[in-house]
Amino acid sequence: MLDFLSLYGCQLQYVVGERNSIMGRVMQPLNQLRYELRFIAAARACLPEIERPELVASLQRAIRAKTEALPVNIWNAVWATEEVESLLTLSRGPVARGAEAGQRTEHTEASQSARLAGQLGELNAAVGAILGGDMSVSLDSVGDMHQSWQSIHLPGQLLVSAQLLTTRLEDASAILDSRLGDRPLCFNGKPNNQSDIARAMFLSVYAAEVQPYMARIRRLRDRLIPPLNELAGRLHAVAPDSFRQWQEAYLRVDRGVWKALDDATREHTRRWQQLLQQCGSAPERSFPRS
């Protein structure tokens, strides 16, 4: 086929020649995707120049096969990479609380999350365009994204934070349940020393420390998890079953770990309300402000 294509001056012969080179045989997934896009674009441009029907039919079959395989190539270049593994690793622990953050201020965290959200938005747009048939999409910036993701672990830390918060809120709710099952904290709704201690605990620990931290987690979740879920959803048809289950558990804000956290937050605050209402006062908010 290459001999015939060379007679027509098609660029496709150079694209295929690159693939058959020594370096072309060991392409990384991202470069493999770039090659597939160049092949399809060059083959489409070559078709009008070819006069032999059998060669036209052969090239059309190649274009069709490579177009059908694009979702798999995109999956390999997007999700089956070490960079995404680094981004979503659970080995880096939770998002640091304010007192533990040290030099990593909330401003730095916000800047990092904003940059990552922008990259995910750009990647979503590129994948959507390719799946829509646009083979001219540039993937030049994806390499830089991957490089930066090697040192960013914020999404994975968010997942750890959500699970830890849920566990600790459920533990604390069990303690409050135990107190609610006992005699009322206040007699006839009148405050006393015990109620003062309970309210001080609510204000100094839950309201002053826990709720602000949960608000940070919520802001980061709303910024990063939906675009990751969108990116996963675009390739749902070719994703392994294990990944689909993982997506449901971690990337759906209305299910899995995120729903568990919302439920635990709601139930914990409700118990505080029940306890403090016994003394004529209760928190007004059911969720931390975001």
Last residue within a domain, chosen from 68, 85, 102: 68
Q: Are residues 156 and 111 in the same domain?
A: yes
Q: Are residues 35 and 120 in the same domain?
A: no
- Quick one: pLDDT at residue 27? 82
Q: Helix (H, G, I), strand (E, B), or coil: what is residue 174?
A: helix
- Identify the CA nearest to 265 among candidates 225, 217, 200, 222: 217
In a domain, 283, yes or no: no
* CB proximity list for 242: less than 8 A, separation 6 or greater: none
Take residue 241 and report the two structure tokens written for it.
């079953």
Structural domain of residue 138, as residue ranges? 93-277
- Identify the CA nearest to 10 among candidates 49, 66, 55: 49
In a domain, 288, yes or no: no
In a domain, 79, yes or no: no
Q: Are residues 46 and 114 in the same domain?
A: no
CB 64 within 8 A of CB 53: no
- Quick one: pLDDT at residue 148? 93
Q: Are residues 119 and 63 in the same domain?
A: no
Q: Are residues 41 and 142 in the same domain?
A: no
In a domain, 73, yes or no: no
b/e burial code for range 215-247 (CB count within 10 A of at least 16 → b): ebbbbbbebbbebbbbbbebbeebbeeebeeeb
Q: Are residues 241 and 139 in the same domain?
A: yes
Q: Are residues 171 and 209 in the same domain?
A: yes
Q: How many domains does the structure of the chain reveal?
A: 2
- Quick one: pLDDT at residue 8? 57
CB 166 within 8 A of CB 264: yes
In a domain, 78, yes or no: no
- d(Cα 41, Cα 12) in Å, to the nearest integer? 9
CB 160 within 8 A of CB 94: yes
- Quick one: pLDDT at residue 190? 85
Take residue 146 and report the two structure tokens written for it.
């991957």
- Quick one: pLDDT at residue 16? 74
Q: Summarize pLDDT for 65-76 with one digit per residue, the tens.
A: 999 999 999 999
In a domain, 88, yes or no: no
Q: Summarize pLDDT for 123-147 with one digit per residue, the tens.
A: 999 999 999 999 999 999 999 999 9
Q: Are residues 131 and 176 in the same domain?
A: yes
Q: Are residues 208 and 146 in the same domain?
A: yes
- Quick one: pLDDT at residue 47? 87
**113 φ, ψ (degrees, to nearest 5):** -70, -35
Q: Are residues 52 and 135 in the same domain?
A: no
In a domain, 226, yes or no: yes
In a domain, 138, yes or no: yes
- Quick one: pLDDT at residue 154? 94
Q: Are residues 28 and 97 in the same domain?
A: no
Take residue 124 and report the two structure tokens written for it.
């979503």
Q: Summarize pLDDT for 13-53 with one digit per residue, the tens.
A: 777 767 665 455 568 899 999 999 999 998 898 888 888 88
In the predicted model, residues of the chain with pLDDT beneath 50 are: 7, 22, 103, 286-290
- d(Cα 35, Cα 250) in Å, to the nearest integer? 32
Q: Are residues 58 and 105 in the same domain?
A: no
